[in-house]
Chain A
């Protein structure tokens, strides 16, 4: 049976959906299924990082500009090694990494101790409210409203 989507490759995934009490079955090849966001159990890598790297494999090759201006590392390098080249890579590949961090950690926001060079940070407790306010600002900015609500509640308790 050929894929109902591309009519080229062999259909290997048979997706049964129930919409408005109507049962429909879709026959898809692995590639078209992946595009529709359906993953076959066999293709599921074991770790979130593996899932992300596998997903990156399927996206088109990065443009030439997608190298870090500081270290020259590329997304391709990251794909191969699972390691970034330098601290600036976090800025260079911010969009891709944000997505990865959400999958890996369920969040992109550091909630732990904040580092100030020279280490003159005030004691943790005093610092906490300022920290939460900054995180709240970032959460609103990035439209992460779920996190923002949580942060607002924590601020209320603190203040």
Chain B
């Protein structure tokens, strides 16, 4: 069993709801795709080459300031529950955790984590640098990852082309290798059925959306990950600026949608959010999906000041710890144990009983 307490903030610093606009935005994530020069990409390399990449990058990382004390998790040495746990904490991708349909973990699949920074090794690219911040914090998150990129770039030789920029295994990431994502809660737009218009609009301006866990994941609990689609032809700052402007606009739309709901259907909204709270507080069995949807309702209720005394931190904590692997580890059972929904409901009741009344 892995010991996540080794991580200074347990790897969940991003959920403390301390960041800007954290009533709407859960977290901001930046990742940079990098590959080592003169080596074949991951899809064509061998087990020993991946091992060599791991050793080369790790020794470079130990020489940096930002990853000197990094905790190392070798995914290929962990059991499925532990891998799922790291994925649920947004520390590794589904692919690296070997949670895709084929369920295989690639040899050499590793993540180095220190505070808000991390590097995935032997993912689709040799390195995936990432930074995760609480709330809406594109510039701060990028500045940190950029510093790490500079530190690693001094110690490693990255594959770079004078015209195409940083070379990546998939041409969709070439150039800056930058993917910036903002995890945003949009229940107002979903309830007013404006969401598909907004998402279509984003697609037209070169942005894309994904579910709670990034690429290939479903939208649950009205959480959308908004990110840039293109990585080439604009500078990092232009990409971030564009995404930032669009996210601010989506936030405005969401606020407007909430005002419309409160103005036109106050009784329905009030009933909806309190019903969600009541179910969370008293239900005896909850599936993950149901818990997520109810938490979304309560989050909306807190956001529009209908439900007092529930902190965003409490809601974020419930969001993370009711996920299957987290709950299973805490309860000492398997993530597919039929008891899980009962334990989830118990856990939610316990947290709400002890924390409500205390603002997070």
A residues with CB within 8 A of B: 49, 70-71, 73, 81-87, 90-91, 97, 100-101, 104-115, 117-120, 134, 138
Contact = CB atoms under 8 A, between A and B. Distances in A.
Contacts of B150: 119
B278 interface: no
Given A83-B169, A86-B41, A111 B235 contact: yes
Contacts of A115: 153, 158, 160, 166
Contact of A104 (B40, B157, B165, B230): B230
B53 to A, nearest CB: 13
B232 A71 contact: no
A105 B40 contact: no
Interface of B: 35, 37-41, 43-44, 124, 146, 150-151, 153-155, 157-167, 169-172, 174-176, 178, 206, 230-236, 238-239
14 contacts: A71-B40, A87-B159, A87-B167, A90-B167, A105-B230, A106-B230, A106-B233, A108-B233, A110-B232, A111-B233, A111-B235, A115-B166, A117-B37, A119-B154
Contact of B170 (A70, A84, A87, A114): A84
Contacts of A84: 41, 169-171
For the complex of A and B, 4 pairs with smallest distance between CB atoms: A107-B233, A110-B165, A119-B154, A87-B159
B244 to A, nearest CB: 16
Contacts, number: 115
A90 B174 CA distance: 10
A45 to B, nearest CB: 14
Nearest to B233: A107
A105 B231 contact: yes
A104 B230 CA distance: 7
